[in-house]
């Protein structure tokens, strides 16, 4: 199922989820390194690249080669040269060791075959001073989004993050459909 099935088009999605304000809220700023695991077509990747600027770096991973190709085209059109993309599984991909200031899961943690392994990889990529951010769907009935039965509740996600060696700093609502969890290594 593609992301349009879940979210509608990007302009529609922006009505209920503003990537710029979410990224600013989690402390993304110029010069930082941002890792977007399960990046899709760049809904968060592209604004992150603009925010971190030429002094910063964005790593973007998705398992869908067509989506990564679309992301590359959008980055090229926007003159964003600070994005490194990769096609692959999050269970098998580590971009770098201790490089990420912010490691971000944008409504995808529930999609991975082995979220515990994905979080272990995140622990390898994040700096000791870095922050892990999980933005995900609330586990409640909705007319759109992934099926409720595959979503993680806030508690389930926090427990997975904790078991991967992170200290959960904050859990809170992020709009009408999502929650946001921040954690430190």
Which pTM value belongs to this model? 0.91
Query: 163-172, pLDDT tens digit by residue?
Result: 999 999 999 9
Q: Are 70 and 45 in contact (CB under 8 A)?
A: no
Query: 71-111, pLDDT tens digit by residue?
Result: 999 999 999 999 999 999 999 999 999 999 999 999 999 99
Q: How many CB atoms lie within 10 A of CB 21?
A: 12
Above 70 in pLDDT, residue 14? no
Report the run of H or E that residue 51 belongs to, with start and end: helix 45-52
Distance in angstroms (rounded) separating the CA atoms of residues 131 and 102: 5
Query: 131-158, pLDDT tens digit by residue?
Result: 999 999 999 998 888 999 999 999 999 9
Residue spans of alpha helices (H) in 59-114: 65-77
- Write the Ramachandran bin of 128: left for phi over 0, alpha for psi from -120 to 50, otherwise beta: alpha
- Whole domain around residue 90: which residue ranges? 3-184
CA distance to 29, 73, 75, 86, per residue, from 135 (Å): 18, 25, 23, 21
Q: For all residues of the chain together, what is the average pLDDT?
A: 92
Q: Which residues pair with 182 in a beta bridge?
A: 133, 170
Which domain CATH number covers 115? 3.40.50.150
Supply the pLDDT for residue 88. 97
Count of domains forming the chain: 1
């Amino acid at each position: 199922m593609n992301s349009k099935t879940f979210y509608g088009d990007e302009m529609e999605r922006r009505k209920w989820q503003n990537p710029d304000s979410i990224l600013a809220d989690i402390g993304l700023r110029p010069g930082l390194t941002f890792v977007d695991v399960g990046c899709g077509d760049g809904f968060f990747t592209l604004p992150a690249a603009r925010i971190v600027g030429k002094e910063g770096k964005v790593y973007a991973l998705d398992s869908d080669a067509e989506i990564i190709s679309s992301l590359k085209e959008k980055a090229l059109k926007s003159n964003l040269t600070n994005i490194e993309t990769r096609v692959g599984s999050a269970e098998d991909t580590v971009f770098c060791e201790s490089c990420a200031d912010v490691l971000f899961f944008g409504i995808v943690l529930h999609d991975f075959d082995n979220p515990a392994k994905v979080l272990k990889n995140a622990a390898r990529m994040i700096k000791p001073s870095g922050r892990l951010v999980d933005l995900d769907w609330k586990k409640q009935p909705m007319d759109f989004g992934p099926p409720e039965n595959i979503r993680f509740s806030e508690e389930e996600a926090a427990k997975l993050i904790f078991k991967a060696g992170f200290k959960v700093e904050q859990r809170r609502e992020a709009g009408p459909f999502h929650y946001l969890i921040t954690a430190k290594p």
